[in-house]
């Protein structure tokens, strides 16, 4: 991938995260990427085309970070906890990325929303290992969707309120939301308290 | 979304038309009959009037009309859910009744269901805040789980929002896939998503089996 194309994609993520998808223009993206209109239209047909490519890039970046932060040999609970912690950290460090990923994608049309949903489905694949913890219990088939919905709802609220920097402080609650469908409120509360102790200690 | 019967023509820009309920003007839709549209199916009086003029007499712009329609839909929905909820005794029974009513209402009006749950994100910050406010109105129905659950007082303050998020995730999945008619069939799962954060998966599964058999 040429560096100019990547600069345009990164610029799209930043500008949309700051201004919103609807208010973002191709001129804004070109200015942010410090490149030319000719270069933009060499790579993309229009704003929407560029946004979809930027979203795909963003999703890959986030998942790469999550996978890099998780050791496949760890028990499921540690793995998903570390994965969620990394997502929260990324979002807090880059609020524009977070808003683009979670909030603004909804404004970019049905195909963008489908990409967001596909990303949520990938996250739920991470979570499906939790079914083993419920050995002997019948869990609904779409339990991972409930878990992902609970987590993304809380994150969405904070981003809508412009409080991306508060997400790490919310990590204990997010962990509870993610784990409770699998392990129940007592065990999820225990994990939440452990995470809260770590958060205070930082 | 196709324009609803009796709705004014779309505002300038040719964007989606909106539910008839808010745009018909006239008497307070909250005094009318059933349905998420908040109307009784009658067409607004078009005799001799210019609907576009009427539109701009009632609403500053397209967004104002959308927000009014959205508020109308939410009002009707919350009242229907609340009435079903209050008719039952124990919290799991109340949750089941409220959720069954929610699913039925959304299945009746798939386009409005998509608007309320999926497309609202595309409608700008004011609409997104309305969505969050609508969620707030339903929070007390979930919060009762804190009294019902053993150790409920120890649960995180956000537990009701987690339960609502879990339910919304399931509903959005069906709506994005165009399966609004199948929403009532989700009752066991949305009930599980509601009860589970409070009572845990084993007790939630037992209650669901009891309430939905």
pTM (two decimals): 0.78
State the best of B114, B160, B197, B204 to mutate against chain A, taking most chain A CBs within 10 Å: B197
Inter-chain residue contact B200 with A147, CB threshold 8 Å: no
Percent of chain B with pLDDT over 90: 29
* pLDDT score, position B192: 93
For chain B, say whether A178 makes contact (Cβ under 8 Å). no
In chain A, how many domains are there? 1
Task: Tally Cβ neighbours within 10 Å of residue A128.
Answer: 13
The interface predicted TM-score of the complex, written ipTM, equals 0.79
Candidates B132, B166, B176; nearest CB to A149: B166
Inter-chain residue contact A145 with B173, CB threshold 8 Å: yes
| More confidently predicted of A82 and B34 | A82
Cβ atoms of A27 and A109 within 8 Å: the answer is no
Range of the domain at A80: 3-201
CATH number of the domain residue A152 falls in: 1.10.357.10
The contacts of residue B127 (CB under 8 Å, 6+ apart) are B63, B66, B67, B70, B120
What is the mean pLDDT of the segment spanning A44-63? 96
**Complete DSSP assignment for B102-155:** HHHHHHH-HHHHHHHHTGGGGG-HHHHHHHHHHHHHHHHHHHHHHHHSTTGGGS
For chain B, say whether A149 makes contact (Cβ under 8 Å). yes
Inter-chain residue contact B151 with A117, CB threshold 8 Å: no
Is 1.10.357 the CATH number for B62-212? Answer: yes
- Return the minimum-mean-pLDDT range out of A34-48, A89-103, A141-155, B27-41: B27-41
State the best of B13, B153, B166, B185 to mutate against chain A, taking most chain A CBs within 10 Å: B166
Candidates B128, B156, B169; nearest CB to A173: B156
Tokens of B183: 């929403």
pLDDT of A120 strictly over 90: no
For chain B, say whether A201 makes contact (Cβ under 8 Å). no
* pLDDT score, position A109: 84
Cβ atoms of B94 and B164 within 8 Å: the answer is no
What is the mean pLDDT of the segment spanning B38-45? 48
For chain B, say whether A186 makes contact (Cβ under 8 Å). yes
What is the mean pLDDT of the segment spanning B28-51? 50
Cα(A30)–Cα(B196) distance, integer angstroms: 48
């Amino acid at each position: 991938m040429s560096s100019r194309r990547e600069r345009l994609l990164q610029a799209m993520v930043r500008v949309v995260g700051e201004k919103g998808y609807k208010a973002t223009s191709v001129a804004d993206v070109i200015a942010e990427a410090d490149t030319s209109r000719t270069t933009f239209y060499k790579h993309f047909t229009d704003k929407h085309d560029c946004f979809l490519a930027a979203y795909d890039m963003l999703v890959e970046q986030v998942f790469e970070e999550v996978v890099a932060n998780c050791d496949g040999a760890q028990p499921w609970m540690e793995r998903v906890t570390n994965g969620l912690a990394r997502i929260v950290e990324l979002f807090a460090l880059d609020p524009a990325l977070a808003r683009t990923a979670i909030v603004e994608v909804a404004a970019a049309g049905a195909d963008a929303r489908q990409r967001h949903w596909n990303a949520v489905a990938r996250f739920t694949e991470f979570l499906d290992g939790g079914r083993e913890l419920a050995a002997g219990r019948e869990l609904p088939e779409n339990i991972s969707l409930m878990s992902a919905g609970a987590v993304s709802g809380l994150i969405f609220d904070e981003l809508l309120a412009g409080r991306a920097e508060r997400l790490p402080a919310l990590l204990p609650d997010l962990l509870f939301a993610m784990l409770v469908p699998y392990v129940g409120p007592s065990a999820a509360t225990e994990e939440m308290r452990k995470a809260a102790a770590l958060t205070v200690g930082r | 979304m196709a324009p609803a019967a009796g709705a004014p023509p779309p505002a300038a820009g040719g964007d989606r038309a909106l539910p008839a309920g808010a745009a018909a003007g006239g008497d307070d839709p909250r005094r009318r009959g059933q349905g998420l549209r908040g109307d009784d199916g009658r067409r607004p009086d078009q005799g001799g009037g210019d609907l576009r003029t009427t539109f701009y007499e009632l609403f500053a712009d397209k967004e104002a009309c959308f927000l009014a329609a959205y508020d109308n839909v939410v009002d009707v929905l919350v009242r229907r859910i609340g009435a079903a909820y209050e008719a039952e005794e124990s919290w799991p029974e109340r949750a089941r009744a409220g959720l069954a009513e929610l699913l039925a209402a959304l299945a009746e009006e798939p386009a409005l269901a998509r608007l309320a749950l999926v497309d609202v994100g595309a409608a700008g910050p004011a609409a997104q805040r309305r969505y969050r406010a609508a969620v707030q109105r339903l929070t007390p129905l979930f919060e009762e789980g804190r009294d019902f659950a053993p150790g409920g007082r120890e649960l995180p303050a956000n537990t009701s929002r987690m339960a609502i998020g879990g339910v919304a995730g399931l509903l959005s999945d069906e709506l994005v896939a165009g399966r609004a008619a199948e929403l009532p069939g989700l009752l066991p799962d949305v009930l599980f998503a509601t009860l589970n954060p409070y009572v845990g998966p084993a007790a939630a599964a037992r209650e669901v089996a009891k309430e939905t058999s």
